[in-house]
Amino acid sequence: MTQERSELPRERWRPFLDDLTRQYEGSDVTIEVLSLSFGDLLPVERLPLSYIEYDDRDDIFSVGVGGRDGRYPVVLRHAVEHPQKIFSDIVSPATPRVFDVVDAEGTQTIVTIHRPIEPDGTSTA
What domains, with CATH codes, occur in the chain? 5-113 (2.70.180)
Angle at 23 between CA 14 and CA 69, to 5 degrees: 105
User: What integer pLDDT is reported at residue 1 of this predicted model?
Assistant: 39
- Digit-coded pLDDT (tens) for 62-73: 999 998 777 778
Confidence of residue 16 (pLDDT cuts 50, 70, 90): very high
Query: What percentage of residues in the chain have a pLDDT greater than 70?
Result: 85
Q: Give the C-alpha separation, 76 to 24, whole Å.
A: 17
pTM of the model: 0.83
- Digit-coded pLDDT (tens) for 72-113: 788 899 999 999 999 988 666 667 888 899 999 999 999 999
Q: Residue 44's beta-bridge partner residues?
A: 31
Q: Give the C-alpha separation, 118 to 100, whole Å.
A: 27
The total of other beta-carbon atoms located within 10 Å of residue 106's CB is 11
Average pLDDT of the residues of the chain: 86
Strand pairing class (108-113; 97-103): antiparallel
